[in-house]
Amino acid sequence: MATVETPTGGAPLTVLSEEEQMFRDAVRQFAESEVRPRVHQMDEAQQMDPELILQLFEMGLMAVEVPEEFGGAGASFFTAALVVEELSRVDASVGVLVDVQNTLVNNAFLRWGSDDLKARYLPQLAAERVGAYALSEAGSGSDAFALATRGVEADGGFRLTGRKLWITNGAEAEIFIIFANVNPEAGYRGITAFIVERAFDGFAVGKKEDKLGIRASSTTELILEDVFVPAENVLGEVGKGYKAAIETLNEGRIGIGAQMIGIGQGALDATVKYLQEREQFGKTIASFQGVQFQVAQMAVELEAARLMVYNAARLKDAEQPFIHEAAMAKLFSSQVAQRIASQCIDLYGGYGFTREYPVEKFYRDSKIGTIYEGTSNMQLQTIAKNLLK
């Protein structure tokens, strides 16, 4: 086992296997050399660099858990969380692109896909094709099962009609997991998951959202107009899509937690460097005790959030119950990321309020953590239900 040091060189964080540490270090080097030079341009353009996406595939970062027989890295869920953390330390937009591919799309195929679906789609998702997970709708956010998208049985399959909203990776994706209700009278027990390809007739990507943060990450509308989906493209069982949705999102919340601790670490790293260089009253800002105490408090909260995320990921890999821990990790890490990013702007002073320095972007990116893949209120509800059941 190998000890991992904080990026700012402090006390040991946790213990990783040698393989995990090597994977993490490779991702960190990649993020610094290939992602960081592109961050500002991608944020301004609100678009992911296509060349960077190709590099993510070449690095094996788009299929961390996918077995080697399908072209993936064959690593653990915990390793996928490390990847998301390290990428988000530099750019949370890249972090969430990789997160959705791994913790939602690939995981759904691995858990619910037939042998045929795995053989057909996992090699594509590992090599070159981005995936997206389409559950949300205009009237179906926290109430995830109030779906208006409908599936009607047709010869050899189903025809889907409806609109999806807030779909991450929508602009880049070619393979979509679409949730639709094939039996509205049965309520949520009619919800079914379908694999839809961008090229299917009647399918289109609609409006792209103009967002506060993670601007290089595409968030789009999806339009389905009588889209025929063959029966073999049902993911799991007909009427069991609600189960696939719940279980996949429970895992995905750990990925969002990893994104949030990456954001917090990135903001803190940039601020520590700035404080050691910037002088006021004849000495560096870092030499003031009041500033030192603020930095120390941020480091403590970030470490607590990291350990909560890591613990939830380890429990998932060990096939132990983790829903309670995942909800707590997602809730706390998103709160911590916002607090740290905000305080870092304060420590930068006026410079922190400008786009010349990186902390304003970390602040913008951190806000989404309390909203997507289950709002903070939904996480509190999950935690309370588990405690009071």
Please list the active-site residues.
Answer: 373
Q: From residue 34, how far is each of 9, 87, 211, 250 by CA, in Å?
A: 23, 10, 24, 31
Tell me how far apart the alpha carbons of residues 28 and 342 are, in angstroms, rounded to a whole number.
24
Task: Return d(Cα 300, Cα 214) in angstroms, integer.
Answer: 25
C-alpha 26/C-alpha 106 separation (Å) is 22
Closest CA to 188 of 106, 246, 111: 246
d(CA 59, CA 75): 13
Exposed (0-12), middle (13-18) or buried (19+): which is 49, by Cβ within 10 Å? middle
HEC string for the chain:
CEEEECCCCCCEEEEECHHHHHHHHHHHHHHHHHHHHHHHHHHHHCCCCHHHHHHHHHCCCCCCCCCHHHCCCCCCHHHHHHHHHHHHCCCHHHHHHHHHHHHHHHHHHHHHCCHHHHHHHHHHHHHCCCEEEECCECCECCCCCCCCCEEEEECCEEEEEEEEEEEECCCCCCEEEEEEECCHHHHHHHEEEEEEECCCCCEEEEEECCCCCCCCCCEEEEEEEEEEEEHHHEECCCCCHHHHHHHHHHHHHHHHHHHHHHHHHHHHHHHHHHHHHCEECCEEHHHCHHHHHHHHHHHHHHHHHHHHHHHHHHHHHCCCCCHHHHHHHHHHHHHHHHHHHHHHHHHHHHHHHCCCCCHHHHHHHHHHHHCCCCCHHHHHHHHHHHHHC
